[in-house]
Structure 1
Amino acid sequence: MAMLMGLCLMVYSLGQREVRRQLNKAQTGIPNQLGKLTNRPTLRWIFQQVGWI
């Protein structure tokens, strides 16, 4: 069970890292909860924005 949890956290971390890398490459951001642009969003926030959570 611990190995599965570790794998899930690794996939989550890699996804978040890739989103942040692409935002930095494009020199843009995503609006946060306050409406300000951020280039360091969490993957959970992105999933909430697209309606997956």
Structure 2
Amino acid sequence: MPDLGKYASDVLAAYGITAALLLGLIALSVVQSSRVKKRLKAAEERRKSDG
């Protein structure tokens, strides 16, 4: 790891915040995808039963 000098804590904090935000966005995307898949499957089942 490069020597960051007096800015080490700021840089590492920025990396940590960025990683947390990226993980949060990925988790949100996975949850939202799951919900949409469920709704799509339900809509397809209704369509099959209607006609």
1:10 shift after superposition: 0.2
Q: TM-score, normalised by structure 2?
A: 0.53
Segments of 4+ in structure 1 off by > 3 A? none
Alignment: residue pair count: 28
| Structure 2 unaligned residues grouped into runs of 5+ | 1-23
TM-score, normalisation: structure 1: 0.51
**More helix by percentage:** 2
Give me the identity figure in percent.
4
Task: Report the structure number with the largest CA radius of gyration.
Answer: 2
Equivalent residue for 1:15? 38
Structure 1: gaps spanning 5 or more residues: 29-53
